[in-house]
Amino acid sequence: MSKISLIIKREYLSRVKKKSFLIMTILGPVLFAGIFVVPIWLSTQKPDKQTFEVIDESHLLINLIPEKEGIIHFDYPPITLKEAQTGFYDTKYDAILWIPPQLMEQPAIKIFYKDKIGLTTTEYISSTISSMLYNIMMVQNHVDVNLIKDAQQKSQFTLITEKYKENGKSEKTNVGVNFAIGLVASILIYFFIFFYGVQVMRGVMEEKSNRIVEVILSSVKPFQLMMGKIIGIALVGLTQFLLWIILTSSITTVLSATVLKGVDMKQIQHKEEIIRKGENLNYKDMKKIEQNQLFEGLDALKSINFTQILLCFLFYFLGAYLLYAALFAAVGSAVDNEADTQQFMMPITIPLILAMFVSTFVMSNPDSSIGFWFSIIPFTSPIVMMARLPNGGVPLWELLLSMSLLVVTFILMTWLAGRIYRTGILMYGKKVTWRELGKWLFYKA
């Protein structure tokens, strides 16, 4: 077995065998699956039923307030507020809704409640009563309410985005889903660079501080040791990533087959029917569509070129990692303890954070020149390009330029980092400055 593969093997196994790796591997998918499943599950949950005792002293709304089916129920007992309040605690009612006598002049409505009242409930009541008062005013001023209702309903429409291709065919897209995929890809790359880059740095510092490095260097070249570590940790990252994909998808599948069973498909079909028929949407339907946006998101995944995105993701993921890992290794070699890493970490973290900012900007402005430049410059290109790709429309030459620049820079940076590394790793008890690092670049091996 060649020496570098021995090093890779050790770096890989010593990390994969750790308990923290196992925990992360299990915890990650649970969290990821949670992100997908919990919102869907929550949207299908119905809150407890609440019964209101309506004391309408204005007599305008008696028996008229629309109920929220199964959630908010209104009773209209013919009593005064005083009467209602005495012994309120012994009644079955959750709250008293008091409407003052001079409602049109003094529009202040009160709710007295026992345990708790939710924001959705108060908002429902205020918006419903508000629209009722609106209608009453219309009637009082002799305006045809039906005419307005009709106009409101007929002005509802659905916005469909389709990507028009060179071959004349077009394809339905979902800008929201594209945005989400770009964001997830960018965040994953960002996270992996930091998480595994710092592991490289710590690994180098560990070897330096426990003084095993000199023993190893009597058997292998510093560059072999550095690359062995970088590659070994990359494999750890890929393993974890692969396990996450497998576990996340199986957890999601299992959950949607059990917890969400019977919820989704009917609602999706119902919504599609509505859109197809161009039916007028009433309030209930609108609510359902809002609920179904999540399902639609999952549904629209099918329209995306996954092969291209996955391949590019793998390339940028590895390229970005290799580029930054070499820099992290150089930093680790130059310092004696973690506290000293701060000054050298700054220039590494700034382009990464900048890239995250730019990529969120690029998602809403895919054609901006900022997006172009930042997806070409190698230090930010992996994160920014992954934000641009799901939206499509990145010319091949831009992609190729960005990729080849990343490769060239990675080689250059690894070479430079190797020169710093081989000097730094044997240097103890010295507070290293930037000037010093510069000098190391020119030392003879």
Partner 1 sequence: MNILSANNIVKRYASHTALNDVTVEIPKQSIFGLLGPNGAGKTSLIRIINQITGPDSGELFFEGERLTQKHVEQIGYLPEERGLYKKMAVGEQALYLAQLKGMSKQEAKRKLKEWFEKFEIDAWWNKKVEELSKGMQQKVQFIVTVLHEPKLLILDEPFSGFDPINANLIKNEILDLKKKGSTVLFSTHNMGSVEELCDNIALINKSKKVLDGSVREIRKQYKTNIFELEFSGNMMGFTNAMWTGAELLDHTTDGEHNKAKVKLLGKTTGNDLLQAIIPVAQIQSFKEMVPSMNDIFIKVVGEENADGTQSNFTE
Nearer to partner 1, 388 or 422 (CB): 422
Query: How far apart (Å, rounded) are the C-alpha atoms in residues 205 and 208?
Result: 5
Nearer to partner 1, 190 or 440 (CB): 440
Shortest distance, position 5 Cβ to partner 1, whole Å: 10
Shortest distance, position 422 Cβ to partner 1, whole Å: 8
Shortest distance, position 415 Cβ to partner 1, whole Å: 17
Q: Could you tell me if 100 and 106 are in contact, meaning their C-beta atoms sit under 8 angstroms apart?
A: yes
Nearer to partner 1, 266 or 444 (CB): 444
- Tokens 């949950």, residue located: 45
Three-state DSSP at 56 gives strand
Query: How far apart (Å, rounded) are the C-alpha atoms in residues 24 and 424?
Result: 32
Nearer to partner 1, 212 or 408 (CB): 212
Query: How far apart (Å, rounded) are the C-alpha atoms in residues 187 and 384?
Result: 10
Shortest distance, position 445 Cβ to partner 1, whole Å: 5
For 343-405, the DSSP string reads HHHHHHHHHHHHHHHHHHHHHH-TT-HHHHHHTTSTTTHHHHHHHHGGG----HHHHHHHHHH
Shortest distance, position 416 Cβ to partner 1, whole Å: 17
Copy the structure tokens of residue 182. 């770009």
Shortest distance, position 209 Cβ to partner 1, whole Å: 8
Of 15, 7, 405, 5, nearest to 239 (Cα)? 15
Nearer to partner 1, 45 or 210 (CB): 210
For 131-166, the DSSP string reads HHHHHHHHHHTT--HHHHHHHHHHT-----EEEEPT
Nearer to partner 1, 14 or 282 (CB): 14
Other C-beta atoms closer than 10 Å to the C-beta of 162 total 11
Of 8, 336, 352, nearest to 201 (Cα)? 336
Nearer to partner 1, 330 or 384 (CB): 330
Copy the structure tokens of residue 107. 């529009």
Nearer to partner 1, 395 or 429 (CB): 429
Give the binding site for partner 1 (CB under 8 A). 1, 3, 6-7, 10, 14, 206-207, 210-212, 214-222, 422, 426, 428, 439, 443-445
Q: Could you tell me if 263 and 37 are in contact, meaning their C-beta atoms sit under 8 angstroms apart?
A: no
Shortest distance, position 46 Cβ to partner 1, whole Å: 52
Shortest distance, position 320 Cβ to partner 1, whole Å: 28
Residue type, 208: K
